[in-house]
Chains A and B, each alone.
Chain A
Amino acid sequence: MDSTRSAPSVRAEGDTFSLYRSSRPRLRGRSGSVVSVISTLTVIAVGIAVLASPSAAAFRRGFLDVHQMWIAFIGDPTKGILSVGKGFLLNLWLSLICEVIVLILALGIATLRLSTSPVLLPFRVLAVAYCDFARGVPVILVMLWVGFGVPSLNIPGLSTQSPVVYAGFVLVFAYTAYVAEVYRAGILSVPRNQVQAARSLGLSSTATLRSVVLPQAVRNVLPALLNDFTSLQKDTAIVSVVGVLDAVHAAQIAGGVTFNYSGFTIASLLFLAVTIPLTRYTDRIMAKDRGRRLAGAQ
């Protein structure tokens, strides 16, 4: 191999190739913007046509009636309509309390799953089983199971809790599994040589986890954690199925009284008012993180 040091030829003689696309040139610049204006106008025209049709009027009356929305929002005790706005406060504080508990428990589950101590083996197996179960079963099923099942067991102390407690338990149960997996991915994303550097300085494995691994892990998965929080915030709506009076339940009642479903619309708007800013904030963090990584990689 050493005797023939001449560079191998890259391409045989007469080997031709083209640099031209076979289809029409891509639309760019001025003709491109003309086309985008035309397509936008077409979509708007179709939209107006749909909204002007007779069925659209029924849709507007049933779902988009501003007066009905307002009544559902503030409630009307004389007609037995409960306030969707007040109900939404429950969705808010329930999601906040659950999120805090989830963040703490999930961290424990994640570190347990990643532990290597032989003593912890049975707990590792349990943690895996729990994560598989909690992520694999529909939340609404667990909600019905716990919300209706546990009170029927007549276990002192356990069966007499308020539905909000059951609902909170179910949300924590479901989301801890998801968030634990996010944490786990985050911990695994920290390079091994970071651990070695910390250990070589004499830091114990616990100190390494706390001071070196977790801060980097959480930073790496912050967007995913916020994503799950947004999702949890939304999923507080399922507490309505076990009779907790949240925004969705209140909207349901309003709809039953007035036969107008604009209450659902206002409930949706309330959820969106929280989740959209959260999502935008997550995007911003992701963009910032990307910028930081690119700056670090140069």
Chain B
Amino acid sequence: MTAGTPEVVLRVDDVHKRFGDLEVLHGVNLELRANEVVCLIGSSGSGKSTLLRCCNLLETIDGGSIELFGHNLAHERIDEDLVRRHTGMVFQSFNLFPHLNVLDNVTLAPRRVLGRSRSDAEADAMELLDRIGLSTKADDYPDRLSGGQQQRVAIVRSLAMGPRLLLLDEITSALDPELVSEVLGLVAELAEQGMTMLLATHEMGFAREVADAVCFLEDGRIVESGTPAKIFEDPDEEGTRRFLQRIIDAGRL
């Protein structure tokens, strides 16, 4: 690894994925280098979420290959738990554990998976919670928090494992509009700190500002990818243009 070309964190090569007769991914190619932020855009059902889930082995692929940190995920000796230990995933529906308070939500994995002591894990968790301004909520249960707060805790829960890649699956889609910015603000902050991220999003303004590259997916294919400026201002493909026009019509860009 030389200074000019950061290592490739994730390489998706001609990936196919079927659910029964429905082919969700038709040969997707993608490369993500360290410290990069890549946004996947496209309408619902275009395959964004499936692609993210394949990178975390929550789904298995039917063709092609995914390499994470230079290792092929299809290798028979790949340990899915180890893969997930190094790649954080944040979901649209937060998925905080309702029976645990905020602090325990954040410390569960470091304690159970990394075997860290409670006091160690809690000290780190409190520091992370402090960074997002939620250390006062450490003892609260998730249902006492707003959606935006819950999602930020979910992000911190992933961060507590020290991931080298974050997969964010439409993390603001379930939020009330006024809560979106606090979550995106946190993601932008992480991007600034150099966190490598692959995110599916409907927030075009955010993608334009934060992403190093934007990929437009349609029907399980990456139709067009490039810099945000290119994709949003001067797309080559008719499909991309149509999609962006619909977004503009809906008043979301």
Interface residues of A (CB under 8 A from B): 193-194, 196-204, 207, 211-212, 215-216, 219, 292, 295-296
Contacts and interface: CB of A to CB of B under 8 A. Distances in A.
Given A201-B85, A201-B157, A203-B112, 4 more contacts: A198-B108, A199-B81, A200-B158, A201-B113
Contacts of A194: 95, 97
A193 B143 contact: no
A201 B58 contact: no
Contacts of A295: 143
29 contacts: A193-B91, A193-B93, A193-B95, A194-B95, A194-B97, A196-B95, A197-B89, A199-B58, A199-B80, A200-B56, A200-B58, A200-B89, A201-B109, A201-B113, A201-B157, A202-B81, A202-B113, A203-B108, A203-B112, A203-B113, A204-B113, A207-B113, A211-B108, A215-B99, A216-B97, A216-B98, A292-B143, A295-B143, A296-B143
Interface in B138-175: 143, 154, 157-158, 161
A200 B56 CA distance: 7
Contacts of A202: 81-82, 84-85, 109, 113, 161
Contact of B91 (A196, A207, A211, A216): A196
B84 A201 contact: yes
Interface of B: 56, 58, 80-82, 84-85, 88-89, 91, 93, 95-99, 108-109, 112-113, 143, 154, 157-158, 161
Nearest to A192: B95
Nearest to B141: A296
Contacts of B143: 292, 295-296
Nearest to A216: B99
Contacts of B56: 200
A216 B88 CA distance: 23
A243 to B, nearest CB: 46
A81 B173 CA distance: 74
B179 to A, nearest CB: 15
A197 B58 CA distance: 10
A60 B80 CA distance: 72
Given A202-B81, A204-B81, A296 B58 contact: no
Contacts of A196: 58, 91, 95
Given A202-B161, A216-B99, A197 B81 contact: no
A70 B91 CA distance: 65
Contact of A219 (B81, B99, B108, B109): B99
B46 to A, nearest CB: 21
B77 to A, nearest CB: 16
Nearest to B142: A296
Given A199-B58, A201-B84, A211 B98 contact: no
Nearest to A207: B112
Contacts of A199: 58, 80-81, 84
6 tightest A-B CB contacts, nearest first = A202-B85, A197-B95, A201-B109, A296-B143, A200-B89, A202-B113
Contact of A212 (B81, B85, B88, B97): B97
A40 to B, nearest CB: 43
A295 B158 CA distance: 26
B108 A200 contact: no
Contacts of A216: 97-99
A223 B91 CA distance: 31
Contacts of B112: 203, 207, 211
Contacts of B89: 197, 200
Identify the interface centre among B85, B96, B109: most chain A CB within 10 Å of its CB.
Answer: B109
B145 to A, nearest CB: 11
A202 B80 CA distance: 8
Contacts of B96: 197
A180 B219 CA distance: 44
Contacts of A201: 84-85, 88, 108-109, 113, 157-158, 161
A146 to B, nearest CB: 39
B106 to A, nearest CB: 10
A240 B147 CA distance: 57
A58 to B, nearest CB: 57
B72 to A, nearest CB: 19
B59 to A, nearest CB: 10
Contacts of B108: 198, 201, 203, 211-212
A255 to B, nearest CB: 50
B221 to A, nearest CB: 25
B248 to A, nearest CB: 17
Given A193-B91, A197-B91, A211-B112, A203 B81 contact: yes
B108 to A, nearest CB: 6
A209 B80 CA distance: 16
Contacts of A296: 98, 143
A193 B58 CA distance: 11
